[in-house]
Structure 1
Amino acid sequence: MNRPAALNRTLLALIGLVLLAAGGFALATHFGRLRVLDPSAPLVPGDAPPPTWVFWVAIAVAVLLGLLCLRWLAAQAFRRPKTVAWRSDGTTGATVLDSATAAAPFAADVESYEGVRTASAWLSGPREAPELLLIVTTDRDTHAAAVRERVAEHAVPRLRQALEVDTLPVRLEIRLTAKSGVRAR
């Protein structure tokens, strides 16, 4: 279960319900269907301005809410898998390999394919059972099926051989650019 996504959906649903209820209350009060507020009475008693500290508190709360909203928006952006350090104990010593280091040549290999503009790869999971996340950006006129087939038949077997694993689950995302044509290197 993806806990952050479930929390995100729950918070969005609660915020949506609160906003719907507030909108419904405002409309019902405005059109006289709900007699909670007297339309001729002032909203706040008196006509004196509030103390200065009220404005500062309102500004502080607005800034805090704005920063929380920006943090929430930043959390919606792409989340890459955490890189892990793989340790392989051999007869002569131990070898430690960062999964990002292992994925970089793979991404460069995929990036060299015809029609591919950029490729980003991340390996996650334990050394014995890694998983690959691959994001490939291609030209608009490039056939996505051909790129997928080339990755599956050429790049993934080479990476499996390099990592010395039998299976390598791959999550491939192909993005098309709005531009087409030859890229400059």
Structure 2
Amino acid sequence: MPGTVNRVLLAVVGLVLLAVGGAVLAVGLGAPPPSWWLHDGPHDALLGVAERTRWRGEAWWWPTVIAVLAVLVLLALWWLSAVLHRRRLAEVVVDTSDGAGALLRGPALEGVLSGEASRLDGVAQAHVRLTGRSEAPEARARLLLEPHAEPVAVLDDLSARALAHARDSAALRALPAEVRLTAARHKSERVS
């Protein structure tokens, strides 16, 4: 539900900005202004002299304008970070074949996946995160590989062991995974 509300709000804000921006562009290029437009034509200033100097003598005006604009920018940045932030999956629905189902904590499954992935040959460290929906989770894994590790073999082991065990134990149809591999860096030492 929050995703739907977010999409609707983004669509409404986008349409309003598109309409106002299109109207400003059209009037600026010489088109006749729409009936709801505030000004008369392309040579009419957005803020006239009287509108610009109306509050000049008031000490509270410019700090208030700057504060309101700063709050709007902070709210927009917060909204953007909320949209871009991939949330962790709190729980996974397990099909128990009796129609009732069960819930498995997402962090518990993440811990088991991370532990099993870190025990694979060639993996120095593993971190797994679950995203997606509780009925169709997705795994995002970051693996730190040891110098002797072969990436293809590590990916095959991860798919055949850790991901397969998690998929089977949670009775999931599929468990798609995005895996990021990083090679371990060792400091060079002087040999004498």
**Whole-angstrom CA distance in 1 between matches of 2:179 and 2:167:** 21
Structure 1 residue 64 displacement after superposition? 1.8
**Residue identity matched to 2:48:** V
Alignment of 1:24-173 (within 5 A): 24-35=22-33, 36-38=39-41, 39=43, 43-46=47-50, 48=53, 50=55, 51-75=58-82, 76-82=84-90, 100-101=107-108, 103-113=110-120, 114=122, 118-122=126-130, 133-137=138-142, 142-143=151-152, 149-156=156-163, 158-159=165-166, 169-173=174-178
Count of residues paired in the alignment: 160
**Residue identity matched to 2:11:** A
**Whole-angstrom CA distance in 2 between matches of 1:135 and 1:24:** 41
CA deviation digits over 1:111-147, x for unaligned, max 9?
344368643144996xxxx8754212358x834xx55
**Residue identity matched to 1:103:** E
**Whole-angstrom CA distance in 1 between matches of 2:125 and 2:2:** 31
Tell me the TM-score normalised to structure 1 length: 0.61
Q: Does the residue aligned with 1:11 lie in a helix, a strand or coil? A: helix
CA deviation digits over 1:54-106, x for unaligned, max 9?
3233122212212211221221211001259xxxxxxxxxxxx9652453142
**Residue identity matched to 1:106:** L
Q: 2:3 aligns with which of 2, 5, 28?
A: 5
Q: Does the residue aligned with 1:175 lie in a helix, a strand or coil? A: strand
Q: Does the residue aligned with 2:12 lie in a helix, a strand or coil? A: helix
Q: Does the residue aligned with 2:53 lie in a helix, a strand or coil? A: coil
**Whole-angstrom CA distance in 1 between matches of 2:166 and 2:76:** 40
Q: Does the residue aligned with 2:24 lie in a helix, a strand or coil? A: helix
Percentage identity across aligned positions?
27
CA deviation digits over 1:12-62, x for unaligned, max 9?
222222222222221222222125425267832536351332323312221
Q: Does the residue aligned with 1:52 lie in a helix, a strand or coil? A: coil
**Whole-angstrom CA distance in 2 between matches of 1:59 and 1:72:** 20
Q: Does the residue aligned with 2:60 lie in a helix, a strand or coil? A: helix
Q: Give 5+ residue unaligned stretches, structure 1.
A: 85-96
Q: Give 5+ residue unaligned stretches, structure 2.
A: 34-38, 93-103, 145-149, 187-192
Alignment RMSD, CA only?
Answer: 3.9
Q: Detail structure 1 runs of 4+ shifted over 6 Å in the superposition.
A: none
